[in-house]
Amino acid sequence: MDIFTRIKNLEIQGAINIAEHSLIYLKGFAKKNGFGHKFDLECDRLIAARPTGVALYNVIRELRRDKSFRKIDELLNKIKNNKEKISNYGEKLIKNNSTVQTHCHSSNVMDIIKKAAENKKFTVIADVTEPMHQGIKTVKELSEIKNIEVILVTDDAAGLALSHPCISMSDILILGADAIRKDGIVNKIGTYLLAVAAKERGIPFYIAASTLKYDRRRRLVIEMRKPSEVHRKIKGVKILNPAFDVTPWKFINGVITEDGTKKPEQVLRELKQV
Ligand code: RUB
């Protein structure tokens, strides 16, 4: 199966994984075909496969300024080092005996949780994440880690974890991001609802994402996925299946980046710089 299909069908999922796999693919492509016109077309096809994923767009833009194997390796190293730094900063936010809540599957969040579990015991609540159930990937991966109690809930129950101890009250939410924009954080559908509920309960809401996800593009394209992921056809009903939503900054306490945890004002200032 080609990489475009693997991105589309979520076999390769998560913004930073998509950027990483794409770079590895482009390295192989350039070895066979060089860095000419065909290479440019391949870059365009990759960007179109995940329009919301700005890390993919940003690394390809940087690569196009210096089309070389050296640049590809430099970008791959940057992705790896950023992940490591984010996990070191993020793990400090997780306290011993606390409860962390997340949504979907973010490799940055997973790294933070795994790092924190090296010397702390805590609970992680994850929701299923309808309609494609990436939350299952999250809990399966976490079930292998000692020191963590893992709880899976439905998306509809996720709000209860913020308001009632029958699940285990969340102390903090940490989610990933596909894009960091002036208007807010773009992430898996459902993020916005969780952020609103967290604000209402006064529970800190953090995003873990590298500055490679700064999105200065004017237009935001929200990917509409297949209606069949939601339900089979119902006569007279239009089924919409947006894959991402936008959470405004007022709901976000901070962004855990490779440079440390930044307040929204700082991120907004940096987004203005080119
Ligand atoms: C995944 C998702 C993740 C972000 C960040 O959606 O929304 O939270 O992509 O992930 P999908 P990461 O499963 O549709 O790709 O931290 O790994 O970049």
CATH homologous superfamily of 86-272 equals Translation initiation factor eif-2b; domain 2 (3.40.50.10470)
Q: Is 166 a catalytic residue?
A: no
The whole-number pLDDT of residue 58 equals: 97
Question: Mean per-residue pLDDT for 241-269?
Answer: 98
Percent residues over pLDDT 70 in the chain: 100
Percent residues over pLDDT 90 in the chain: 97
Check: CB of residue 43 under 8 Å from CB of residue 60: yes
Instruction: Concatenate the DSSP letters of all residues of 189-253 into one string.
Output: TTHHHHHHHHHHHT--EEEE--GGGB---S---PPB--GGGT-S--TT-----B-EEEE-GGG--
pLDDT digits (tens, 9 = 90+) for 99-149: 999 999 999 999 999 999 999 999 999 999 999 999 999 999 999 999 999
From the CA of 103, how far away is ligand 1's center (Å)? Answer: 9
The whole-number pLDDT of residue 173 equals: 98
pTM, whole model, 2 decimals? 0.96
Instruction: Concatenate the DSSP letters of all residues of 129-168 into one string.
Output: -TTTTHHHHHHHHHTTSTTEEEEEE-GGGTTGGGT-TTT-
pLDDT digits (tens, 9 = 90+) for 145-183: 999 999 999 999 999 999 999 999 999 999 999 999 999
Tally helices (H) and strands (E) across the chain.
9, 10
In this predicted structure, the answer to whether residue 260 has a pLDDT above a threshold of 90 is: yes
Residues within 6 Å of ligand 1 by CB: 10, 13-17, 104-108, 134, 176-178, 187-188, 243
Whole-angstrom Cα distance, residue 274 to residue 268?
12
Test site for ligand 1: of 115, 178, 192, most ligand atoms within 8 A of the Cβ:
178
Q: Give the DSSP H/E element, type plus range, for residue 7.
A: helix 3-8
Question: Mean per-residue pLDDT for 71-93?
Answer: 98
From the CA of 218, how far away is ligand 1's center (Å)? Answer: 21
The whole-number pLDDT of residue 274 equals: 75
Alpha carbon 45 to chain centroid, angstroms: 21
Rg value, the chain, Cα: 19
Question: Mean per-residue pLDDT for 16-43?
Answer: 97
Task: Please report which confidence band the pLDDT of residue 25 belongs to, taking 50, 70 and 90 as the band edges.
Answer: very high
DSSP state of 9: T
pLDDT digits (tens, 9 = 90+) for 168-222: 999 999 999 999 999 999 999 999 999 999 999 999 999 999 999 999 999 999 9
